[in-house]
Amino acid sequence: MEYKNIEPFVKQYGVHKTFYVDYFMKQEKEGKSKNEIQADAIRNEIVKSPLMLNRTYKFYEIVKDEIGWI
């Protein structure tokens, strides 16, 4: 299922996961690599720990093909 609007995605996965998916997708659209995105997320304290970074980025990789609002 592709999400054309952000609202259904928020209803299904919540605001927390939506924020990370949105952040990672925008960084990827800017041409950054996976390592650059993860390094920036840690450096800018977007995520609080490497474990949370790993979990949120894995979730992003699973759902990124379903994102259509960005």
Give the count of domains, the chain: 1
Whole-structure pTM value: 0.85
Give the model's confidence band at 2: pLDDT under 50 very low, under 70 low, under 90 confident, else very high: confident
- 69, pLDDT greater than 80: no
In whole angstroms, give the CA distance from residue 51 to residue 53: 5
Tell me the per-residue pLDDT of 18-57, one tens digit each, with 9 for 90 and over: 999 999 999 999 999 999 999 999 999 999 999 999 999 9
Domain assignment of residue 62, given as a range: 6-66
Q: Which two tokens stand for residue 35?
A: 């390592």
> Is 10 part of a structural domain of the chain?
yes
> Is 1 part of a structural domain of the chain?
no
Q: Which two tokens stand for residue 36?
A: 């650059």
